[in-house]
Amino acid sequence: MKRVPIKLKVNGQAYVFDAVPENKTLLSLIRDDIGLTGTKEGCAEGDCGACTVLLNGKTVDSCLVLAVEADGGEVLTIEGLSRDGNLHPIQQAFVDEGSVQCGYCIPGMIMSTYGLLQENPSPTDAEIKKGLEGNICRCTGYVRILNAVHKASEMMAKESK
Amino acid sequence: MPEHFVGKPIVRVDAAEKVTGTAIFGPDVVLSGMLYGKILRSPYAHAKIKSIDASRAWELWGVRAIVTGDDFPGILGGEAMKDLPFLAQGKVRYVGDPVVAVAAESLEIAEEAIKLIQVEYEEIPAVFDPREAMKESAPIVHENHHQYQHIPVMKPVPNSNIMTVSEFSKGDTDQGFAEADCVFEDTFYSHSIQHAPIELHSVVAQMTADGKYTVWVPNDGPHRLRKDLSDALKIPLTKIRVLSTYIGGGFGSKGGLKLEPVAVALAQKVNHRPVKIVNTREEEFSACVVKHATYLTVKTGIKKDGTITAREVTSIWDAGAYAEKSPTVCMQATAASAGPYKIPHVKLKGYCVYTNKVIAGAYRGYGVPQVTWAYESAMDVIARKMGWDPLEFRLKNILREGDENPTGQPVHSIGVEECLKKAADVIGWEKRKNAPAPAESYKKRGFGICCAAKNTKTPSGAAAVVLLNQDGTANVVTSTVEIGQGAKTIFTQIAAEVLGIPVEKVCVSNPDTDLSPYDASTTSSRATFHMGNAVKEAAEDIKKQLCNLAGEIMGCPGDDLIAEGGEVRPKDQAGLNKEPLPYKQIMMKKYGAGGTILGRGFYYPEVKTNGMWSAPSIFWMYCAHAAEVEVDTETGKVDIIKLVAAQDVGKPINPVTCLQQVEGGAIMGMGAAMSESLIFDNKGRMLNPTLHDYKLPTFMDLPDLESFIIDAPDQNGPFGAKGIGEIVVAPTMAALAAAIEDAVGVRIKEGPLSEEKVIAGLEKLESGQEAR
């Protein structure tokens, strides 16, 4: 397998890799090389959304993106959301609304919510469902996640005022 | 007034870790020097292994171990029946059976290595349907299976595929049917599905130089795993240490022996390095564990006034290639297979049968979703034929406080009637005939309502230790695993309530079998009830010790004192004029140089056996679901307009964690009913082992869902609480099938409730046949 050098920023911090195999996924780079295990693998083929991160401001399934495609890019993972020990409003809303059970899908769900609220700061029920349909949760039945997204939207609107 | 923590919607103690991505799950475990394992699996459903040639794989750089079944002759594992080799020995029994395992320096090398291993097989006849497998002419999956070690309640039938038969009877069903005005008999089929937790199965195992194995694993029964491995390897329990990670969803799949035996096998051969194995999603589906496909025949005798006189239920469970938990699934579900009804004459029989398919085992509800599907569908078939209101027919026969249930056990703490009434009220049962018709004339609206009852494994033990620290905080040590159910939060609340300290001062740890005491398993909806009782007892033990210590300081008997609100004070303040002593001060005065107070709790329910094959259940769970659907008569598509779930919780320790279970369960039940189904070809190969082809409910499938908790305090539960985690999925499919029949007259008797079946039923109706 051919190996290539890449540079990227993850959660604002620069990383330099001298020889990344061309077939390595961004998910593997994040988990295995950088050591950030908050981003999860659930299927490795883009069906479950557990590996969702933001690449250059857009949500992607990191299992479907090659590490080399992220060369020169900026990645945001779940570990990059909280600042100075304070939860991001989306994280806080998921805690407050009881949206977390086993928690395995939650990092991906929160990153998809982040991407959704960036594009649409006050989504309707239907827009939330559509925006998060690629993230599968097996525990919650989605009800409280829906509530959390609304709450996060309100919290973020207040913050930006 | 002391502050209360039980009964309050305390924020989950594990939430912050989980929203920040810092919670450690099985696949997140990384150790220095760690190797990666990969399994070569059988491509055949039933075949003899003629030869294995791994020479080319050995030539690959980085391969550190290759193991086969020959490396572990005669070693067999299994909780109920020891029939599971660590790797196939002599023959393979399903497509996916582990044959060879490799440990290598990287996952990529391990993946490459298994491609280079040549296995020669000789295919032999296979059997895939449990009814076929029961015939004398059927290929035998396990020769001489009756000679395997097994738990005493099992009754293997020699020279057959029947691994056990579970039977229970009460009264005389012949008499009951003779007394009946009408007798109904129907066969229902519950299809096979997969648990599909989003976290993949994984394990890291290491054997150190002292011959001790350490296993890092998201397994729902750390002590059970320790025992299973100890039995198989014939080494003492102390030679195995299980460290639990958080579990990213299990629903029954994350217990017993899964990847652990293979990891342990590799760990023996790699010079004390740790070995990690993680399933792929495809392995998760096709080579891990599934919910039993089950055939259930329900025969019911009724009087014209709606009274049930007798019921016989015969069930056939497709256990797949190895026993796993099938024998006890069959046993417990058979006991629950007549439903939460007052029936004087009952005969229940379950056949648990080997086939050449992927192993079936515990799935949320332990067989109860299957039996509920059958007996609740039977209730609706009867009510419809007799022209009765399905709800009234149920309420006419429903179990009430003090009644004897079909297994002969008097029932207490029974909220099933209230669950039915609540669900009916919210779905608008009374007014359903006046509900507005759908806007489109080709759509029809229908309503269904069903209930369920489930037992818990009894007896089973749970031990807890609570440690009071010098600063007045407390550590709670148990072997209950946090699998998403909220156990850590529940134990935090119970310990805080009993000790009278804020929840922030309580810390509940993840299990470590070297340090945390015995617990049977985090299954059977038993953690809140069993471990909750143990934690309560351990915390009470601390309070008693604190009173005695404070008594020494105050110069009075400990019995005159009371521990409350984080301090010890005289029970009668006027009679004994002493200043209250905070816990921290007691610790300082008694153990100034450092110390801890150890509280002990062990809960093991005392139950009387009454001649049954198994003890009665220490508590029963009850719930009801109601559904409103719109059926498109042109496409067969079923839109779920509304789902209502009402759950008897005993008394909630935390109403939010209760509702989390009820909501998630209803949607899981909906997926199991409508879209999830495992499809096999005629060679026993699974055709849809991906999340693309196996349809889990997504956000887009979320209907209007309303959930309720119903109080029916249990005298044996901690603060009146009961378990709920499994039954929450049980009645959904029957409720949805009833709603479809109410809408369009099509009675589906085989799951899933697909569009094709609705259309086929409508076509039969049009041609004047009975739609079934």
CA atoms of A124 and A97, how far apart (whole Å): 17
* B366 in the same domain as B386: yes
Q: Are B749 and B772 in contact (CB under 8 A)?
A: yes
Average pLDDT, chain B: 96
User: For residue B768, what pLDDT band results from cuts at 50, 70 and 90?
Assistant: confident
Domain count, chain B: 3
Mean of pLDDT values over A131-155: 98
* pLDDT per residue as tens digits for the range B198-245: 999 999 999 999 999 999 999 999 999 999 999 999 999 999 999 999
* pLDDT per residue as tens digits for the range B671-713: 999 999 999 999 999 999 999 999 999 999 999 999 999 999 9
pLDDT at B575: 64
Mean of pLDDT values over B595-607: 94
Q: Is the pLDDT of residue B483 over 70?
A: yes
Residue ending a domain, choose from B550, B579, B603: B603
- Among the partner-chain residues A36, A110, A140, the one whose CB lies closest to the CB of B660 is A140
Mean of pLDDT values over B475-503: 98
Reported residue count of chain B is 772
Mean of pLDDT values over A123-148: 98
- Among the partner-chain residues B12, B483, B659, the one whose CB lies closest to the CB of A100 is B12
pLDDT at B770: 64
pLDDT at A160: 86
Q: What range does the domain containing B59 cover?
A: 31-124+198-249+254-286
Please indicate whether, in this complex, the C-beta atoms of B668 and A110 are within 8 angstroms of each other: no
Average pLDDT, chain A: 97
Q: What percent of chain B has pLDDT over 90?
A: 95
pLDDT at B613: 45
Reported residue count of chain A is 161
Please indicate whether, in this complex, the C-beta atoms of B486 and A101 are within 8 angstroms of each other: yes
Please indicate whether, in this complex, the C-beta atoms of A41 and B696 are within 8 angstroms of each other: no
* B315 in the same domain as B220: no
* B642 in the same domain as B760: yes
Q: Is the pLDDT of residue A2 over 70?
A: yes
Return the DSSP state at B146.
Answer: G
* B410 in the same domain as B318: yes
* B650 in the same domain as B584: no
Residue B453: inside a domain, yes or no? Answer: yes
Helix axes A89-96, A143-160, angle to 10 degrees: 140
User: For residue B1, what pLDDT band results from cuts at 50, 70 and 90?
Assistant: low
User: For residue B428, what pLDDT band results from cuts at 50, 70 and 90?
Assistant: very high
Residue B186: inside a domain, yes or no? Answer: no
For chain A, the straight-line distance linking the first and the last C-alpha, in angstroms and rounded, comes to: 51
Q: Is the pLDDT of residue B350 over 70?
A: yes
ipTM of the complex: 0.98
- Which pairing describes strands B620-632 and B638-650: parallel, antiparallel, or unpaired? antiparallel
Mean of pLDDT values over B625-654: 98
Q: Is the pLDDT of residue A87 over 80?
A: yes
Residue B277: inside a domain, yes or no? Answer: yes
Residue ending a domain, choose from B568, B603, B638: B603
* pLDDT per residue as tens digits for the range B39-87: 999 999 999 999 999 999 999 999 999 999 999 988 999 999 999 999 9
Return the DSSP state at B700.
Answer: G
* pLDDT per residue as tens digits for the range B318-348: 999 999 999 999 999 999 999 999 999 999 9
Residue B450: inside a domain, yes or no? Answer: yes
Mean of pLDDT values over B6-14: 98
- Which pairing describes strands B290-291 and B360-361: parallel, antiparallel, or unpaired? parallel
* B359 in the same domain as B265: no
CATH number at residue B365: 3.30.365.10
- Among the partner-chain residues B19, B280, B484, the one whose CB lies closest to the CB of A139 is B484
CA atoms of B536 and B674, how far apart (whole Å): 41
User: For residue B247, what pLDDT band results from cuts at 50, 70 and 90?
Assistant: very high
* B231 in the same domain as B84: yes
Chain B hits for A91, Cβ within 8 Å: 19-20
Please indicate whether, in this complex, the C-beta atoms of B24 and A40 are within 8 angstroms of each other: no
Nearest CA of chain A to the CA of B625: how many Å?
15
Q: Is B24 on the interface with A (CB under 8 A)?
A: yes
Contacts of A94 (CB under 8 A, 6+ apart): A100, A106, A109, A110, A145, A148, A152, B15, B19
* B421 in the same domain as B342: yes
User: For residue B611, what pLDDT band results from cuts at 50, 70 and 90?
Assistant: very low
CATH number at residue B260: 3.90.1170.50
The whole model's pTM is what?
0.97
* pLDDT per residue as tens digits for the range B120-132: 999 999 999 999 9
* B431 in the same domain as B327: yes
Long-range contacts, stretch A85-93, CB < 8 angstroms, 24+ apart: A87/B16, A87/B19, A87/B20, A88/A114, A89/A152, A89/A155, A89/A156, A89/A159, A90/A114, A90/A117, A90/A148, A90/A149, A90/A152, A90/A156, A91/B19, A91/B20, A92/A152, A92/A155, A93/A148, A93/A149, A93/A151, A93/A152, A93/A155
pLDDT at B578: 84
Please indicate whether, in this complex, the C-beta atoms of A87 and B25 are within 8 angstroms of each other: no
Residue ending a domain, choose from B568, B584, B603: B603
pLDDT at B119: 98
Please indicate whether, in this complex, the C-beta atoms of A102 and B246 are within 8 angstroms of each other: yes
Q: Is the pLDDT of residue A108 over 90?
A: yes
User: For residue B615, what pLDDT band results from cuts at 50, 70 and 90?
Assistant: low
* B219 in the same domain as B73: yes
Q: Is the pLDDT of residue B258 over 60?
A: yes
User: For residue B771, what pLDDT band results from cuts at 50, 70 and 90?
Assistant: low
Residue B182: inside a domain, yes or no? Answer: no
Peptide bond into B218 cis (omega under 30): no
Task: Extract the runs of DSSP E, i.e. beta strands, from B82-161.
Answer: 84-85, 91-92, 98-104, 118-123
* pLDDT per residue as tens digits for the range B490-500: 999 999 999 99
Domains and CATH numbers, chain A: 3-80 (3.10.20.30), 89-160 (1.10.150.120)
* B468 in the same domain as B333: no
* B430 in the same domain as B402: yes
Structure tokens at B644: 């209502």
Residue B654: inside a domain, yes or no? Answer: yes
Residue B655: inside a domain, yes or no? Answer: yes
Determine which of B8, B13, B20 to mutate to test the interface with A (most A C-beta atoms within 10 Å): B20
Nearest CA of chain A to the CA of B603: how many Å?
26
Residue B155: inside a domain, yes or no? Answer: no
Query: Concatenated DSSP letters for B601-616?
Result: EEE-------SSSSPP
